[in-house]
Amino acid sequence: MMTQGGTPILILKEGTKRERGKGAQFNNIAAAKAVADAVRSTLGPRGMDKMLVDSLGDVVITNDGVTILKEMDIEHPAAKMLVEVAKTQDAEAGDGTTTAVILAGELLKKAEDLIEQNIHPTVIASGYRQAAEKAREVLERVSTKVSIKDTNVLRDVAITAMQSKSASGQKEHLADIAVKAVTMVAEELASGRYFVDEDNIQIVKKQGGSIADTELVEGIIVDKERVHPGMPSQIDNARIALVDAALEVKKTEIDAKIEITDPSQLQAFLSEEENMLKGMVDRVKKSGATVLFCQKGIDDLAQHYLSKEGIYAVRRVKKSDMEKLAKATGGKIATKLDELTKDDLGNAKVVFEKKIGDDEMTFVTGCKNPKAVSILIRGGTEHVVDEVERSLEDAVSVAAVTIEDGKIIYGGGAAATEIAFGLRDFASTVGGREQIAIEAFADAIEVIPRTLAENAGLDPIDTLIELRKEHKKGGKTAGVDVFTGKITDMKKNKVIEPIRVGTQAISSATDAAVMILRIDDVIAAKSGGRPGAPGGAGGEEGGGESDEF
């Protein structure tokens, strides 16, 4: 901005970092593409792993897209938006994080070519939004219905999610565990649909043994030992009391002084304390409980009385574990010992203490119709156990969303190719410049089969031509078989994904790409400014028209 005399007016501080116009757009696109390229080689069963080393020398070895992006030290603001895409995909669908990021990167790459042809970014954004809407319609059309009873299909969905992970050697065993866990905790809603709360599946990691030793416990594992060695180490047909109160004599809220002038008074004081603790144990015994899980502390004397009564007790149990125990055993958490009755007790076939690695742990097993279960993960090293945990979390998530949505699609690039065909037909009906953007979206979505082919060492162009040819003939489930290098029927190969993985990847990738495309000015904002406040990122000085302040 200048005065009438031509003298420039300085609005921003001298030396303030600022990029604008096509320069800002291309810089943002380049940063986002760099992030997409970083995870691109991990896609598919033939994808490679990444080793991430932090400043302290801690190592993470994985090919899980969201884990890689979370661990990477990313500075560029546009690149951070792609990390958000991966996080959203992981939270909503549990799998497909790499797919979503690669798709966002490819959409921006295609948009870059269109911007160079002087097509306005808002036209591209409009075309992309229409294309995303149509793509979701195509996915609905090619999807297949599935129910909670189709355990074989759910198992195939879980195996597909783990196919590219390093734990794939035991994928059948882990898939069985994941599907069994999900079907146990699934809750039927009034509408007839199901809801799966993954927090009800507890995952406990202990290194040692092999991946094959990973097991499902129809109950809960509490990472605590019994409080007294005199207590029985195993209780059959356990009646379980869950108490959120301390078995200790309460101290006064304010500082208090007790004056004792006679030795008999001291004895009376100690006896009263002893009687109070014995009374607490008697209340537990009276309820009929044979096992006690206490969220707070248990006094040493109370431990002695509990062991004399043959009650198995555990103290300082985490609140989350208490809630899971209540769901698994059918018990209720009592907040006052006085109110503990036999109706509050939960049931389990066996409660026992077992040493896993260096730690003693309490297993609550054989719960009848449990609504919370545990998975104990074993593996040779810490890194193996961590990667098995990530694989199992993916398998559990995809099985859960398949049950919730009741629809599946076929992987290996089959669904992506169908979308590309649908979009090219749709583009011709739209007309105008948006048509070019929709066609660009169709090309971009084919990055999935193309990347699968590249990572398997196949020729991506030949693979894409063969794939298109099969789909043209009507082979809607044809996809890339990365092991044989041929185009085969993904239905026969059992490469199955939940529909939510596809729809969420398209939604979040499109949203991120559109948002990055609409930025034409990158200005250094005031430090410490909160978003939405003047001077902060997103405030009046940071947004709006680039020339008017």
Note the pLDDT tens digit of each residue in 222-260.
Answer: 988 999 999 999 999 999 999 998 887 766 556 667 677
Flag whether pLDDT at 134 surpasses 50: yes
For 410-435, how does the pLDDT look when each residue is reduced to its tens digit (9 = 90+)?
A: 988 999 999 999 999 999 898 788 89
490 and 515 both lie in a single domain:
yes
Report the number of distinct structural domains present in the chain.
Answer: 3
- Catalytic pick from 98, 290, 402, 488? 98
Stated as kind and residue range, the H or E segment containing 436 is helix 434-445
CATH of the domain at 416: 1.10.560.10
235 and 363 both lie in a single domain:
yes
CATH of the domain at 398: 3.30.260.10
258 and 127 both lie in a single domain:
no
Q: Are strands 144-145 and 187-188 parallel, antiparallel or unpaired?
A: unpaired
Strand, coil or helix: 206: strand
Residue 543 confidence (pLDDT): 42
Band of the pLDDT at 542, cuts 50, 70, 90? Answer: very low
Flag whether pLDDT at 98 surpasses 80: yes
How far is Cα of residue 456 from the mean position of the Cα atoms in its chain? Answer: 27
Burial (CB count <10 Å: 0-12, 13-18, 19+), residue 56: exposed
| Residue pair 294/247 in contact by the 8 Å Cβ criterion | yes
Average pLDDT over residues 182-209: 87
52 and 101 both lie in a single domain:
yes
How far is Cα of residue 454 from the mean position of the Cα atoms in its chain? Answer: 27
Strand, coil or helix: 369: coil
Q: Which domain, by its residues, includes 205?
A: 147-218+372-405
What count of other Cβ atoms lies within 10 Å of the Cβ of residue 41? Answer: 17
138 and 199 both lie in a single domain:
no
Is residue 9, in this structure, part of any structural domain at all?
no
Tokens 């260096």 sit on residue: 358
| Residue pair 221/354 in contact by the 8 Å Cβ criterion | no
436 and 347 both lie in a single domain:
no
313 and 265 both lie in a single domain:
yes
For 35-90, how does the pLDDT look when each residue is reduced to its tens digit (9 = 90+)?
A: 999 899 999 888 888 898 888 888 888 888 888 988 888 888 888 888 999 999 88
For 298-323, how does the pLDDT look when each residue is reduced to its tens digit (9 = 90+)?
A: 888 888 888 989 999 999 999 999 99
Flag whether pLDDT at 10 surpasses 80: no
Average pLDDT over residues 505-513: 93
231 and 365 both lie in a single domain:
yes
Residue 254 confidence (pLDDT): 67
Average pLDDT over residues 283-291: 89
230 and 362 both lie in a single domain:
yes
Q: Give dist(CA 132, CA 493) in Å, integer.
A: 28
Residue 432 confidence (pLDDT): 82
Flag whether pLDDT at 548 surpasses 50: no
Band of the pLDDT at 541, cuts 50, 70, 90? Answer: very low
| Residue pair 438/130 in contact by the 8 Å Cβ criterion | yes
Flag whether pLDDT at 464 surpasses 80: yes
Average pLDDT over residues 452-472: 92
Q: Give dist(CA 373, CA 359) in Å, integer.
A: 20
Burial (CB count <10 Å: 0-12, 13-18, 19+), residue 63: buried
- Catalytic pick from 394, 405, 481, 511? 394
Is residue 111, in this structure, part of any structural domain at all?
yes
Flag whether pLDDT at 31 surpasses 50: yes
Tokens 């103290």 sit on residue: 315
Is residue 543, in this structure, part of any structural domain at all?
no
353 and 287 both lie in a single domain:
yes
226 and 364 both lie in a single domain:
yes
Residue 64's closest CA among 81, 79, 51, 77? 51
Residue 14 confidence (pLDDT): 54
- Contact residues for 187 (Cβ-Cβ < 8 A; gap 6+): 194, 195, 196, 197, 371
Band of the pLDDT at 438, cuts 50, 70, 90? Answer: very high
Six-digit token string for 229: 């060695």
Which amino acid makes up residue 179? Answer: V
Is residue 421, in this structure, part of any structural domain at all?
yes
Average pLDDT over residues 19-23: 72
Choosing from 382, 405, 428, the residue where a domain stops is 405
pTM above 0.75, yes or no: yes
CA angle 67, 73, 76 (to 5 degrees): 115
Flag whether pLDDT at 338 surpasses 50: yes
Q: How many percent of the chain have pLDDT more than 90?
A: 38
Flag whether pLDDT at 545 surpasses 80: no
Is residue 184, in this structure, part of any structural domain at all?
yes
Q: 5-14, 255-264, 358-367: which has the highest mean pLDDT?
A: 358-367
Is residue 350, in this structure, part of any structural domain at all?
yes
- Catalytic pick from 64, 156, 405, 481? 64
Q: What does the longest C-alpha to C-alpha distance in the chain come to?
A: 101
Strand, coil or helix: 333: strand
Flag whether pLDDT at 113 surpasses 70: yes
CATH of the domain at 251: 3.50.7.10
Residue 166 confidence (pLDDT): 73
Strand order in the sheet with 215-217: 201-207, 373-379, 215-217
Identify the DSSP state of 72. S
Residue 390's closest CA among 120, 55, 63, 16? 63
Is residue 8, in this structure, part of any structural domain at all?
no
Is residue 549, in this structure, part of any structural domain at all?
no
Flag whether pLDDT at 366 surpasses 80: yes
Has 64 been annotated as catalytic? yes
Secondary structure E strands in 427-549: 478-480, 487-489, 496-498, 521-523
- Contact residues for 486 (Cβ-Cβ < 8 A; gap 6+): none
292 and 427 both lie in a single domain:
no
Q: How many percent of the chain have pLDDT more than 70?
A: 90
- Catalytic pick from 62, 67, 97, 329? 97
Band of the pLDDT at 18, cuts 50, 70, 90? Answer: low
| Residue pair 204/375 in contact by the 8 Å Cβ criterion | yes
Has 98 been annotated as catalytic? yes
Tokens 């709360």 sit on residue: 197
Residue 456's closest CA among 96, 171, 164? 164
Secondary structure E strands in 50-173: 50-53, 59-62, 144-145
Supply the mean pLDDT for the chain.
85
Average pLDDT over residues 396-407: 91
Choosing from 317, 352, 369, the residue where a domain stops is 369
Residue 16 confidence (pLDDT): 52
